Amino acid sequence: MNVPMFTRLGFKIGLTISLALVLTAAAQKAASDWHTFTDPMGHFSFLVPDEPQKQTQKDESHKEGPIVTDTYVAKATGNAFIAGFTQYPESTPLED
């Protein structure tokens, strides 16, 4: 097929711009679906695309008492969004 070069180039540019606009619109819609998650104790909040799953780790190897870490993980489109909160016993010496 004998098509002038500027027509083929215009088609490629037009297709590229169209795809970019569609992807931008999809990303904007996805961004509007994010919401603020606040942990049940009210210690922190963060923006997530989906409801996070809670994981708790308890380390009882310290003489001062257990150290408890709550981690919240939300996964979306191949990404992980993580926030956590660690509670130390009051008698645990913490360095600045």
Residue 95 lies in a domain: no
If asked whether residues 41 and 77 sit together in one domain, one would say: yes
If asked whether residues 24 and 50 sit together in one domain, one would say: no
Longest Cα separation, the chain: 82
Are 72 and 43 within 8 A, CB to CB?
A: no
Which residue range(s) make up the domain with 27? 1-32
Question: Which segments of the chain have a pLDDT < 50?
Answer: 1, 3-29
If asked whether residues 42 and 63 sit together in one domain, one would say: yes
pLDDT value for 92? 77
Residue 96 lies in a domain: no
If asked whether residues 20 and 62 sit together in one domain, one would say: no
If asked whether residues 23 and 54 sit together in one domain, one would say: no
Phi, psi of 18 (to 5 degrees): -60, -45
If asked whether residues 18 and 58 sit together in one domain, one would say: no
Q: Quote the distance between the C-alpha of residue 84 and its chain's center.
A: 13
Residue 46 lies in a domain: yes
pLDDT value for 29? 40
The pTM of this model reads 0.60
Residue 6 lies in a domain: yes
Q: How many domains does the chain have?
A: 2
If asked whether residues 49 and 18 sit together in one domain, one would say: no
